[in-house]
């Protein structure tokens, strides 16, 4: 079993992969996975909610080790200034969100389905009315 430490997170390549995963997690609301140089997925970046309802990033390795504290140390003391700012900025962006990004996406999809159903509902009513008129037997006098 691999135990991860600070040195696993200090390189610029790893920083860029983690920052990309954090960005994608905010965009999609889904957990993202960071591959190592051999292509094996070793880090999961996810968005969770604490007991007070605040959103936060969770960083779990393939051995289920929570490594957020290692990432914070790496960002503060080993990453470039730009990467450190982006890391902090992504945390701030997540903190300011009123709801989980996936909930926002699902709400928007539901609103779009409702909008489409409503517009088809109008057309459906029109077609139903026309169908009734066209299928009604003619009046004879």
pLDDT in tens, the chain (141 residues): 889 999 999 999 999 999 999 999 999 999 999 999 999 999 999 999 999 999 999 999 999 999 999 999 999 999 999 999 999 999 999 999 999 999 998 888 888 888 777 665 555 565 666 666 666 665 555
Other CB atoms within 10 A of residue 13 CB: 9
Strand order in the sheet with 32-35: 32-35, 41-49, 55-61
Tell me the whole-structure pTM to 2 decimals: 0.79
Contact 75, 84 (CB under 8 A): yes
> Could you tell me if 3 and 65 are in contact, meaning their C-beta atoms sit under 8 angstroms apart?
yes
Domain boundaries, the chain: 6-96, 100-141
């Amino acid at each position: 079993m691999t135990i991860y430490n600070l040195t696993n997170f200090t390189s610029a390549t790893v920083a860029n992969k983690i920052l990309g995963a954090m960005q994608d997690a905010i965009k999609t609301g889904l957990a993202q996975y960071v591959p190592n140089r051999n292509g094996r997925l070793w880090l999961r970046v996810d968005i969770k909610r604490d007991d007070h309802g605040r959103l936060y990033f969770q960083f779990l390795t393939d051995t289920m080790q929570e490594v957020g504290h290692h990432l914070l140390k790496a960002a503060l003391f080993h990453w470039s200034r730009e990467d450190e700012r982006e890391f902090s900025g992504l945390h701030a962006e997540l903190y300011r969100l009123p709801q989980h990004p996936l909930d926002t996406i699902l709400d928007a999809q539901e609103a779009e389905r409702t909008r489409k159903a409503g517009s088809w509902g109008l057309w459906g009513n029109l077609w139903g009315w026309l169908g009734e008129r066209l299928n009604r037997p003619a009046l004879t006098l």
